[in-house]
Amino acid sequence: MSTTADTHLKTLGYILWLFGFTGSHRFYYGRPVTGTIWFFTFGLFLVGWLIDLFLIPRMDREASLRYRSGPVNYSVAWILLTFLGFLGVHRMYMGKWISGVIYLLSFGLFGLGILYDFWTLNDQVTVVNGAKS
């Protein structure tokens, strides 16, 4: 029996895999370098995207071991970033009100802040969960 909390939803991982040629599922599971490669190469020319269909269970297990569970839900934060990142809603959800308002007023710091958050959101949530534990 595993004592680690499941921080990421496998279902969401598979939903993001549908758009995996953009690297979204790799960003979700804390793999920003390969997520960026997938983004610029259309899922590693779709070959990597197809292989990832079988790698998602492993990426999900590794994310649960790597990241800390707590009051801020990773999946909710990722959904907010993906669909409302330019409004800073994901930052407000994590309790980062000042940067959330800055994102709101600057369209996610002109898009660059959103890119930064795609690279670092898992670590940001881990830090917030660690502070609130």
C-alpha radius of gyration, the chain, whole number:
15
Report pLDDT digits (tens) over 49-70: 999 999 999 999 999 999 999 9
Residue 70 pLDDT: 95
And the tokens for 58? 């492993």
The whole-number pLDDT of residue 4 equals 67
- Calpha distance 46→59 (Å, rounded): 18
Domain boundary assignment for the chain: 10-66, 74-132
Q: What is the pLDDT of residues 70-106, one digit of tens each?
A: 999 999 999 999 999 999 999 999 999 999 999 999 9
